[in-house]
Amino acid sequence: MDNIPPRVNSRSNRFMDVLRADIRARGYAYATERTYLHWIRRFIYFHDKRHPRDLGSAEIEAFLNHLAVSANASPSTQRTALNALMFLYSKHFGLPAETLTFQRAKPTRQLPTVLSHEEVKQILSCMTGTPLLMVELLYGSGLRLQECLNLRVKDIDFALRTIIVRQGKGDKDRSTLLPTSVQDRLQAQVQKVLALHQQDMADGFGEVYLPHALERKYPNAATSPGWQFLFPSSRLAPDPRSGVIRRHHIHHTGLRKHLRAAVLKAGIHKPVKTHTFRHSFATRLLQKGYDIRTIQKLLGHRDVTTTEIYTHVLGTGPQVVISPADG
């Protein structure tokens, strides 16, 4: 349950506890909270555990220079660290923003790894059971791994053949495709989840984690069949905030382990990760002639320029050149 925000001790005077409470009060996503705390902790350790109030712009610049020069950080990594420190000083401490002078990390343009449709089929042929169904959704619906793990029974609309992604990246909801090829097995998975939930209820459990304040707003939702995770864990575990014994979703490491074994067995030599199937979803749709705006909406990208990178992967952008050897 490592994606459930732990409770904050409101009585604690420890700096990181106070900072965490401030981030939580401002409504930031838990992923952002963890990222900011990570980089602020790195900043403190870089300066020999001195308190951030005793540090200033010179120390921020030294840390950002270290990331660019010594740590070979990417521009996005350096920018994330800068955002975390700006939050710390501008919002948490309430200090006026200062102009910083530091060496920017060298930008590199890296195209995403994508798989051909045949390569995807090779990998899927080496998988079975729930891991197979999950990877098919990553490829067939363009889901991020955490979006797939967070799916609830109620998020699957078989009639409209859509999947509702709740609180995706940027805390936004969106709808995407429900592949016809997995519909029957997905219905079987729902029945399996409902049977497991019935057994948990009979055993005196059956509650599921609810985000934000939904547990207070809808007190019966935690035991509702529709709110159960589509891919539940095989074991019950205590909620890290309340200690209540609950059944959470499958842990991401389990799926990644199955995927690594399947890629090896399929003889694919590309660096395949779960996110590779999302990239492959986008390039496959481009190959089939769908317009970039439709793909942007299905992927949930805020800016179409993020989606346009897939045109460069396929060589269908403005830089497309046909080799002389090909006529």
Positions marked catalytic: 144, 169, 275, 278, 301, 310
Question: Strand, coil or helix: what is 4?
Answer: coil
Q: Is the dihedral of CA 59, 60, 65, 66 positive or negative?
A: positive
What is each CA distance from 106 to 40, 49, 100, 305, in whole angstroms? 22, 28, 17, 20
| 237 phi, psi to nearest 5 deg | -150, 155
Neighbours of 108 (CB within 10 A): 7
The Cα 279–Cα 270 span in angstroms is 13
145, 175, 131, 146: which is closest to 4 by C-alpha? 146
The Cα 280–Cα 295 span in angstroms is 12
What is each CA distance from 223 to 1, 158, 198, 212, in whole angstroms? 18, 22, 10, 16
What is each CA distance from 173 to 109, 220, 298, 302, in whole angstroms? 29, 23, 11, 12
